[in-house]
Structures are given as structure tokens and as C-alpha cells.
Amino acid sequence: MGKISNQELIQKISSKFADRVSTFSEPMGLLTFETSKEEIIEVLTFLKNDLDFNFLTDITGIHYPEQEMPIGVIYHLHSFRQNVRVRIKVFLEEQNPSIPTAFNLWRGADWMERETYDFFGVQFEGHPDLRRILNMDDMVAFPMRKEFPLEDPNRVDKKDFFFGR
Amino acid sequence: MSDIKLAEAPPGIEGSGFFATSFDKVVGLARANSLWPLPFATSCCGIEFMATMGAHYDLARFGSERPSFSPRQADMLLVMGTIAKKMAPVLRQVYIQMAEPRWVIAVGACATSGGIFDSYSVLQGIDEVIPVDVYVPGCPPRPEAILSGVLRLQDLVRNEPMRRRNSDEYKELLNKYGIQ
């Protein structure tokens, strides 16, 4: 099988999901579209089983505080046989964002979802073991959200006092 | 004849068939010249330490011939590299596993102060979790600087009173870190 074009993919996805997917774009040639948390598992299942996107490259998050739906969950899929990738974005509300888990489609989603939970606080419903993976267990904040200060508040050697201010 | 230089005897009173000095000085001499290092290397400072242990700089010249990879038999903990907050309990556990007397050298900017990693995830200096005897500056420090740090530590060890580890001040220091 050769490489499938983005236009073909858009056509196949649109004819299946119609207005349940939106905002198609191709930044740097990478097909990108948005969907909702109600549709995401159906979209992923369709891509995996019918369009042969066998590999889940990554699940990650993003935070745009100025948007109405500020927390994003981003899926990257790769089809080895067709040599093509897609990116799917789902935006969620800021308070207690939650989305169904992709663990049942790809076991590799386990740690990716834990990481997204760790840094953005997204609850993945149905995940078998959703706890922090990289940060300390006793951390209470979600550090990649924009309101979180990145600098360590315990550090004293940068205080103005030491610079005569 | 070999040109091996022996450690100089401490000052004392010498006569025919005897030599008298204080016990502190003899023990200090022995300890200072057989500091067994425990490298706790997490990043680039560890690479400099490898050079320090190698043939060219040869830390073994100063009595640190045997790097101990078990904390139980080590005297000198060398912390080299960035310590993430998640790593802090591990470092603390390693320190607790070491037997007294034990000393700690913080090698490089990260172990000393967090260095360039002024971040929520990085420990801002290992002296937040364990007491430190000598700080070596540099990012990373040259092997000469690490050697200098070890020599400064030898000065501390040589002059440490026997009673220090039983003193109230020392217990208070450890209590401050929550170590019994």
C-alpha cells in the first residue's frame, strides 16, 4: 500500500462523522482536526480499525487560558503501512476536565494518559491506574497549567535583597 | 627505591621506642587518608568525576582508591548533578544507609543550589535534605576543582574532634533534617 493523501483522509473522515469533527488544517503537512470528548473514542476506533492507523505516537495536553475550552488533549496517530500521520485535538472545560481513556484501544496510552493527568489534571475515565507518573506523589498542583509558577518558591538566592534592590 | 610519599606523622613527643600524640590526631590522619567515595552521579558532573577517578587525575593518590557502590562501606558521599525532587528521598535514604562517620560533598552548581534549573521539579540544593560538608562550584567543575574539594574535606576530617559525632550540636544538625 502506498501513501494515502490528506485529501483522501479528510474525505473518509468527513463522510463518516460529518459535523462531529471540525477545523481541518494541515500545518507542515500534518493533517489536524478537532472533535469532542463524546466522539473521541469512536473517532480513534474508526481511525485504528478502518483507516489502519495502528500506532499511537503520543497523547499530550495543552493549556490556552484565553479560550472558552482551555484544556486540550492532543492525540498523534501514525499509520505504518500508509506512511501517514494525523493529529486530533479535543478541548475541555477548565474545571475538572475529563475524557474517556484510549487504554482499551492502545495499551501504550496508559503512561501517556498518566503524564497528561500529571501535568494538566485531565481525568481519563476508565483508566486502570490514573496516578502521577513524573512528579512527586504528594504534589497538589498541575504544573504545566499556565497559572502555575515554574520557578521554585523555596529559592532564596534570587531575592532582590541580594542585588541591592 | 620508590618515591612514594607517606603521610606525615602528627606533631607529638618522640623518644626511644615510643611516640606520644593525641588519639584525635591519629584517627584523623587515618580517616583523612582513606576516604572511600560513594559517587551519586546523575548528570554531567558525574562525567567530570569519572575523569577525576581516571589515570590522569587519579583521585586514588589521596587515599580514595576504592569507590564504594554500597553506601554501607563508604565515608564520603559525592553528589554530582541535578537532583530532582522525586530523587530527593532516594538521596536521603542513601545518606541514612551510610555508617558514621560520614561526609558529603556537593559537586557542581546543581547539587549546590539547583543551578540553572530554577524549577518546581528540581531540588534547590541538596542541603535541603541532607547536611553538606564541602561545596564544589562549577558547571561542571573541572577535575582539579573536585580534587580541591576532596582535599578541603580531608582538612575537615583530619581536624574533626573524636567527640563531634556524639555532640549535641551534631545531633541537632541531623534532627533538623529529620535524620536520627
- Do residues B29 and B7 touch, judged by C-beta distance below 8 A? yes
Hey, which residues does B40 pair with through a beta bridge?
Answer: B79
Report yes or no for ipTM above 0.90: no
Whole-number mean pLDDT of chain A?
90
How many inter-chain contacts (A to B, CB under 8 Å) are there?
30
Q: For every residue of A44-102, which 3-state class applies, written as one string?
A: HHHHHHCCCCCEEEEEEEEECCCCCCCEEEEEEEEECCCCEEEEEEEEECCCCCEEECC
The reply to whether B180 touches chain A by the CB within 8 Å rule is no
Q: Is B128 on the interface with A (CB under 8 A)?
A: yes
C-alpha B145/C-alpha B83 separation (Å) is 20
Q: What domains does chain B contain, in order, with CATH numbers? A: 34-176 (3.40.50.12280)
Question: B126 in contact with A at a CB cutoff of 8 Å?
Answer: no
Please report whether residue A1 resides in a domain.
no
Q: Which of B97, B91, B77 is nearest to B149 (CA)?
A: B77
Kindly indicate the confidence band of residue B119, based on its pLDDT and cuts at 50, 70 and 90: confident
Whether A35 and A87 have beta carbons less than 8 Å apart is answered as no
A136 contacts in chain B (CB < 8 Å): 85-86
Q: Rounded to an integer, what distance in angstroms lies between the CA atom of residue A144 and that of residue A138?
A: 16
What range defines the domain where residue A60 resides?
Answer: 6-149
Residue B44 in marked binding region: yes
- Count up the domains in chain A and report the number: 1
Residue B115 is predicted with a pLDDT of 87
Express each pLDDT in A75-126 by its tens digit: 999 999 888 999 999 999 999 999 999 999 999 999 999 999 999 999 999 9
Q: Render pLDDT for A96-108 as a digit per residue (tens, 0 to 9).
A: 999 999 999 999 9
Q: Is A51 within a domain?
A: yes
- Band the pLDDT of B1: cuts 50, 70, 90: low
- Full-model pTM: 0.83
CATH number at residue A64: 3.30.460.80
Chain B contact probe: residue of A152, A154, A156, A157 with most B CBs at under 10 A? A152
Ligand-binding annotation for B92, yes or no, is: no
Kindly state the cell numbers that stand for B31: 580517616
Higher pLDDT, A157 or B71: B71
Q: What is the pLDDT of residues A43-74, one digit of tens each?
A: 999 999 999 999 999 999 999 999 999 999 99
* A159 located within any domain: no
A55 CA: distance to closest CA in chain B (Å)? 31
Q: Which residue of B has its CA nearest to A137?
A: B86
